[in-house]
Amino acid sequence: MTTSPSALAEAVPEALRRETVDLAGAPPVVDLTHDSRQVRPGWAFACVVGDTLDGHDFAEGAVSAGASLLLVERQLALDVAQIVVTDVRAAMGHVAAAVHGEPATRLRVVGITGTNGKTTTTHLLGSILNAAGLAERRLGTLSGARTTPEAPDLQRRLAGFVREGVDAVVMEVSSHALALHRVAGTRFEVATFTNLGRDHLDLHESMEAYFRAKASLFTPELSNSGVTNADDPYGRLLLDAAAIPMRSYASDDAQDVGVSVDHHRFRWRGHDVRVPIGGRFNVMNSLAALATADALGIDPSVAVAGLADCPPVPGRFEVIGGPDDDISVVVDYAHTPDGIVELLGAARNLTGTGRVIVVFGCGGDRDADKRPLMGAAAAEHADLVFATSDNPRNEDPMAIIDAAVEGIEERYRGGLVIEPDRAAAIGAAVATARKGDVVVIAGKGHETTQTIGDVAHPFDDRVVARAALADAGRPEASP
């Protein structure tokens, strides 16, 4: 589809508009991008000002490649139509949505935000939508390089879903996406909040700023209604202060809870709920999905059936091994202090008299202040800790490990093993395990690479764990 430049200028919120240049007679726009390498004839180019690069410096090349319209913060001396705004990044999503005919308004879009549980809740709700007979798609950590795509990419994908006949989209909405306006121009029928714990403070700098980013999803500009976790203090703040209709869920909504390594069950509103995903913390994710389904008007019995049919979520309390293994090995994406506590607590519930053994690390070039907190969480909630590497990127792996270990009290040091080679750490943890133990491999979950320097090397915790089970004389599970 094509859209006139004047219609795109009108799509920019009034607070962001400055002026338009030479729009009269400019050809219709086919698409929009903020990457000059993607520009094709008839496309618009958004000159985003970043931390190290300024998109205005690439505008001339974009015009040479065929850009017929520029979205800019200052008028450029180029013979091309221009829309001048106060903030290109803030305006870009609105323009991208207009280019593609406002696709979110033709879909039932749900946004899931929070520190932990976004991916699993998205997965669970997608299964419910399937059970309700809706053609659905999911966007998030498992579907692309970014949890939430950049605004032009997001609107392009939503438009593609419309063309495919999709009815509903469930998407993870990260705090980065909200702070960087990636979902601007997207209309959410329901927004859901899972919880808030320490993460991404390298971007947000404080928990208050982190929460403000999350809370911006629960505004009339983006969402029609909201669902929030009333057990979480930040969730209660949303319930009290959000300027959209809100409803809540809480742990008390689930009665007669039972959890095993591969499923959880409970009673909810007179229905027996059984979900084929282990981990007690996933009870809250199921409640979030049920409450969101209720907000969408889905019959409770249909929602319960959808949860029962939900397949395991890759890298989220994913059980590695088979019925003949005498230990349990669980791979999970938990990479925050709260996430580690919840994960190890869930593992503890499964052990009986066995031990909880954890393999964990902290990512490089990310919020360094949470490293000792993660070390403390691992040591306090596991019997044996293997501190190792987790995407060290451009930092020294041992420096990262040392920072994490600083948070471990002396009384726990006897149960600490430092092994920077992640594969070796996993192998040692599995070899150390005795019958009845649970080995938890935390941090990477579904990821299939390990980033060292600027190179992403093939690495999958699940593959390594299966090999470790085989090497330890235990039957290797099928992938």
Predicted pLDDT at 103:
98
Predicted pLDDT at 385:
98
Q: What is the pLDDT of residues 384-403, one digit of tens each?
A: 999 999 999 999 999 999 99
Tokens of 43: 């496309």
Rounded distance between C-alpha atoms, residue 422 and residue 450, angstroms:
9
Q: What average pLDDT does the segment 51-65 reach?
A: 97
- Reported as a pLDDT band with limits 50, 70 and 90, residue 302 is very high
Collect all residues with Cβ–Cβ distance below 8 Å to 429 and sequence separation of at least 6. Answer: 357, 358, 359, 384, 386, 439, 441, 468
With pLDDT > 70 as the criterion, what percentage of the chain qualifies?
96
Please check the confidence at residue 476 and state whether its pLDDT lies above 50.
Answer: no
- Reported as a pLDDT band with limits 50, 70 and 90, residue 323 is low
Predicted pLDDT at 351:
86
Q: What is the pLDDT of residues 22-38, one digit of tens each?
A: 999 899 999 999 999 99
Which of 301, 314, 315 minimizes the C-alpha distance to 273?
301
Rounded distance between C-alpha atoms, residue 345 and residue 386, angstroms:
17
Comparing 30-44, 54-68, 78-92, 140-154, the range with the smallest average pLDDT is 140-154
Task: Report residue 397: phi and psi, to 5°.
Answer: -55, -40
Predicted pLDDT at 199:
55
How many other C-beta atoms are found inside a 10 Å radius of the C-beta of residue 342?
Answer: 24
Please check the confidence at residue 478 and state whether its pLDDT lies above 70.
Answer: no
Look at residue 332 and give its three-state secondary structure. Answer: strand
Please check the confidence at residue 474 and state whether its pLDDT lies above 60.
Answer: no
Q: What average pLDDT does the segment 88-96 reach?
A: 98
Q: What is the pLDDT of residues 164-208, one digit of tens each?
A: 999 999 999 998 899 999 999 999 999 999 999 755 455 545 878
Please check the confidence at residue 477 and state whether its pLDDT lies above 50.
Answer: no
Rounded distance between C-alpha atoms, residue 316 and residue 332, angstroms:
5
Which of 278, 411, 408 minimizes the C-alpha distance to 348?
278
205 sits in the region (left: phi over 0; alpha: psi -120 to 50; else beta) called left
> What structural domains does the chain harbor?
5-99 (3.40.1390.10), 103-308 (3.40.1190.10), 318-471 (3.90.190.20)
Task: Report residue 449: phi and psi, to 5°.
Answer: -140, 160
Q: What is the pLDDT of residues 115-139, one digit of tens each?
A: 899 999 999 999 999 999 999 999 9
What is the model's pTM? Answer: 0.92
Instruction: Give the 3-state secondary structure percentages of the chain, helix then strand then coil, rounded to 5.
Output: 40, 20, 40
Predicted pLDDT at 131:
98
Predicted pLDDT at 2:
85
**Angle at 314 (CA atoms; ends 137, 302), nearest 5 degrees:** 50
Rg of the chain taking only CA atoms, in angstroms: 24
Q: Which ranges of 296-390 would DSSP assign to H, the alpha helix? A: 300-308, 337-351, 371-381
Q: At what angle do helices 422-432 and 461-471 cross, to 10 degrees?
A: 40
Average pLDDT, the chain: 94
Length of the chain measured in residues? 479
Which of 333, 332, 292 minimizes the C-alpha distance to 438?
332
How many other C-beta atoms are found inside a 10 Å radius of the C-beta of residue 40?
Answer: 11
Predicted pLDDT at 174:
92
Sign of CA dihedral 435, 437, 438, 439: negative
Classify strands 356-360 and 438-442 as parallel, antiparallel or unpaired. Answer: parallel
Please check the confidence at residue 428 and state whether its pLDDT lies above 60.
Answer: yes
Tokens of 334: 């938990």
